[in-house]
Amino acid sequence: MGKRARGAVLLAVCASVAACGPATTVKVTAAGFAAATRFEENDPAVTAAPAGAWVIRGPEVASFSGGSAGSSDVAGATVTLAFAGNAVTWIGLKCGVCGIATVAIDGGAPVSIDTAGPAAVGTPGVTSAPVYASPGLASGFHTLVITVTGTTSSNGAQIIVDAFDVSGSAAAASSATRVEDTDPAVTYVGTWTRGTSSQATAGTFAESRLTGDTATLAFNGTGVRWIGFRYGGGGIARVSVDGAQRSVVDTYAPEAEFQAPVFTAAGLVPGPHTLEIEVTGTKNASSVDTWVVVDAFDVIP
């Protein structure tokens, strides 16, 4: 981990984000995407299911981007990336115990990818590399799904997901519509605190730490992105789309990140939808509190 920013220290000792006031130094994650973006396997845009089927592997296996990767040999286990762009590359591992997976984009026909290779995991010099590159896509929002088949042409069926590289994402992200936390389309239930900060999009945010409090966005489109904060007092939230739970989001971070995309759902049927954020009142063991922050949303047309 990098050196902790002063902003993270300030936030960690405050009762809430609002109590801290503007931090002097923070890591700011733009709500949009850069022209070329790397998503690590633990990014909020990446969803692994079922969670128990995936194991985090570290440098004892190979040299991984960000120092770790997800691994599974459970047939039917999936990893889903929601992204904005016109191309995507899966960074994984080809090795002597690596198996066969399928890759599908936007619900299209799955493509079989054999990740078997001669490398023995845990030996010096073994490193992750691109194992799949998509064809050119229409600039916009997409989903990529990797499915473990449990089959192999090697000595094992492990599928390694290290990271993803997305290109053309800046132009695609520009088509989204920003909905601020104060917009009438956002409904709050429970005790939410209103706050202001120069670090927040449009200068405002809402936060709660009480179990069961909810914030619900009604929107019309094919996807949505929740923009929030990650910091030393961040808690855990459940996120549901159209009444079905989609993710459990941990908003703790050792370095404060404002305007951070903490959850993305893409590839929805065009039309009206709802996204609900529920405060669980629980937290990462490293967090000092259970605050969940709603800064804004990006609605994907």
The reported pTM is 0.61
pLDDT tops 90 at residue 112: yes
1 assigned to some structural domain: no
Tell me which of 119, 144, 167 is where a domain ends. 167
User: Does 225 lie in the same domain as 136?
Assistant: no
User: Does 244 lie in the same domain as 185?
Assistant: yes
Give the count of beta carbons closer than 10 Å to the beta carbon of residue 93.
Answer: 27
Q: Domain with 46 in it: what CATH number?
A: 2.60.120.260
Helix, strand and coil content of the chain, in percent to the nearest 5, comes to 10, 50, 40
What CA–CA distance (Å, rounded) separates 77 from 32?
29
Q: How confident is the model at residue 170 (pLDDT cuts 50, 70, 90)?
A: low
What CA–CA distance (Å, rounded) separates 10 from 22?
9
Identity of the amino acid at 26: V
User: Does 197 lie in the same domain as 110?
Assistant: no
pLDDT tops 60 at residue 183: yes
Residue 242 or 47, more confident: 242
Q: What is the mean pLDDT of the chain?
A: 84
Which two tokens mark 55? 């194991």
User: Does 123 lie in the same domain as 24?
Assistant: no
For residue 73, the enclosing domain spans 36-167
Q: What's the domain count of the chain?
A: 2
Q: What is the DSSP string of 189-201?
A: ES-PEEEE-TTSG
Rg for the chain, CA atoms, rounded: 19
Tell me which of 120, 150, 167 is where a domain ends. 167
What CA–CA distance (Å, rounded) separates 289 from 209?
8
Give me the pLDDT at residue 22, please.
34
Give me the pLDDT at residue 97, please.
95
Q: How confident is the model at residue 3 (pLDDT cuts 50, 70, 90)?
A: very low
- Dihedral sign of CA atoms 58, 64, 68, 73 in order: negative
76 assigned to some structural domain: yes
Tell me which of 133, 167, 201 is where a domain ends. 167
100 assigned to some structural domain: yes
User: Does 285 lie in the same domain as 222?
Assistant: yes
